[in-house]
Amino acid sequence: MSSASKYATQDILYDEAIRFLKTVTADSKCYACGCDVWEVASDGNDSRNVLLVPTNTSFNGKLSRSLLLVCKTCGLERQHRDHKIIEWLTANPPESVDCTDD
């Protein structure tokens, strides 16, 4: 089994992760300090993707990963499971732009 196939989901594009966070968690403030500015790490191998951290837990028999966010003020960390982000992105595809003139 390749290392990629043991994970529950695929990589998540940075822009798509931001779309998820702005829509689903728009009013999320740090519960430690109240700051509403979070830093999202990108994958060092491919800066188009967010960094997904292994959780050492499984979902449907495959290892789960989490998107890690860090409060810009106090450094508190929060996590979102990758399979939940992928489920939301699948159910809420980006709106397409019709560039044709009528």
Q: At what angle do helices 14-24 and 82-91 cross, to 10 degrees?
A: 80
Q: Is 19 left (phi over 0), alpha (psi -120 to 50) or beta?
A: alpha
Burial of 84 (0-12, 13-18, 19+ CB in 10 A): middle
> What is the C-alpha radius of gyration for the chain, rounded to an integer number of angstroms?
16
- Residue of 56, 84, 74, 69 lying closest to 28 (CA atoms): 69
pLDDT tens for 46-74 read 678 898 988 888 877 878 899 999 999 99
pLDDT tens for 19-49 read 999 999 988 999 999 999 999 987 777 678 8
* pTM for the structure as a whole: 0.77
